[in-house]
Structure 1
Amino acid sequence: MRRVGTVVRTAGGLAIARAEAGEEPPRIGSAVVNESLATVGRVVDVFGPVDRPYVAVTPSDDIGLPVLVGGKLYAR
């Protein structure tokens, strides 16, 4: 598992996570889990500065976006 980053906000039905410096961003389509290893969605985009990009995650149907804000996400 790789760390995706911390969810900083929601926008347009997506959770936006900020990647950690020095971490390679996950591939588009990667499954994303939270700290409890529960699947929360999939990576749909990676954008922003190369050294610390943002990762857009589309949530699973049963996940509420506000719950993800401030939490750490990981890619499988």
Structure 2
Amino acid sequence: MDRLGEVVRTAQGLLILRVPDDATPDIGTEAVDESLNEVGRVVDVFGPVSRPYVAVSPDDDRRLAPMLGEKLYAR
């Protein structure tokens, strides 16, 4: 399981994560938390090529603000 990134903000119902290295995930990649609970899927990759951001669309009606600072992983 690869680290997807850390949630740095929320915007328009999406979680915005900073990717830790140059291993950019594909759109549609499943995002899970540390307990392997599904959080959502990657819907966009943007920003500088050397260290991009990804937008994750959550699967359910979870509150996004408490997820700030949480690390997510790609499954």
TM-score interval, normalised by the smaller of the two chains = over 0.9
How many residues align? The count is 75
Answering whether residue 17 of structure 2 is matched by residue 2 of structure 1, we say no
Q: Is the 8 A contact 1:6 1:71 kept in 2?
A: yes
For the aligned residue pairs, the C-alpha RMSD in angstroms reads: 1.0
Residues 39-75 of structure 1 show CA distances to partners (whole Å, capped at 9, x for unaligned) of 0000000000111100000011142211211000101
| Counterpart residue type for residue 18 of structure 1 | R
Unaligned runs of at least 5 residues, structure 1: none
1:64 corresponds in structure 2 to 63
Structure 2 gap ranges (5+): none
Counterpart in the other structure of 1:54: 53
Scaled by the length of structure 1, the TM-score of the pair is 0.92
- The alignment-based identity, stated in percent, is 61
